[in-house]
Chain A
Amino acid sequence: MTTDPDRRKFIQAIATLAMTGGMLLPAVVTATPSEAKAKIKEITNAARLNKGRVKITVPVVADHGGRVDVTVTADSPMTEADHVKAIHVISDNNPFPEVVTFSLGPDAGKAEISFYMRMAKTQNVYAVVEMSDGSFHIDKGTSTVTIGGCD
């Protein structure tokens, strides 16, 4: 009989699982909504947060939290005088609130960015946009996560 390496790995995994008492999956410790709010306050230096001029799009239901499509669009002419300087993406139910920070300018032509993020649980994701005049704009998206994607 030949030994199938996959079979061997499988048996090893079972043995490890038995030894560790099945405690391979620790509970996800996540940032809280208040930590997310504190992070936003830190980024904006407690400046006023305006609504509008920014839109974050996330799926209503994310089947798999490991790869969730996010799009952030800011309404800006992207000229030397008036452009988006930075976009901060903040999550309120992942291990850490920061997801990604983008720095851009008039060379971008238009402020529209897409990427994929992980979601541990059902959560709100905030897009905080910093304009060249120093003003801040915020929008929130909510996704219901079926299978968490941070562990």
Chain B
Amino acid sequence: MSKPRLRIPKTVKKDEIFPVKAMVHHPMHNGRRKDKITGRIIPRFIINKFICEYNGRRVFVADLYTSMSENPYFSFYLKGKESGAITFTWTDDNGESITASHTITVQ
């Protein structure tokens, strides 16, 4: 897995509702596709959980299934309560995680 991509404002006003966009590179093998060369089925291997935490509070969680596209992308909103860290965790079928963090200033 490679570095996730985030698009979030650096500074927001108190109680401002701001957009959060997060994407991670992942093939999201649905367990149905065959390898074009060998003809063997590629086993299921997907990101099954996405968690967003704002200063430790779990503010947005997604449970993903095989119908999600590769390189899963989410766009959602959060409310600026206080300055701090917004962290993201993507977990795959092998239990491995990739994390990213964003520092936000609330004025």
Contacts and interface: CB of A to CB of B under 8 A. Distances in A.
A43 B73 CA distance: 24
Interface in B16-40: 17-18, 30, 32-34, 36-39
Nearest first, the 4 A-B pairs at minimum CB distance are A109-B79, A109-B17, A116-B69, A107-B59
Interface in A92-122: 94-96, 98-118
B105 interface: no
Contacts of B34: 24-25
Contact of A100 (B38, B64, B77): B64
Q: Is the interface of B mostly helix, strand, loop or mixed?
A: strand
Interface of A: 9, 12-13, 16, 19-20, 24-26, 66-68, 78, 91, 94-96, 98-118, 149-151
Given A95-B30, A114-B73, 10 more contacts: A24-B39, A25-B34, A68-B69, A100-B65, A101-B63, A104-B61, A107-B59, A111-B77, A114-B74, A150-B67
Contacts of B32: 26, 95, 150-151
Contacts of B69: 66-68, 115-118, 149
Given A103-B60, A107-B59, A118 B68 contact: yes
Contacts of A117: 67-69
Residue of A9, A99, A100, A109 with most chain B CB atoms under a 10 A cut-off? A109
A26 B64 CA distance: 24
A104 B36 CA distance: 40
Interface of B: 17-18, 30, 32-34, 36-39, 54, 57, 59-70, 72-79, 81
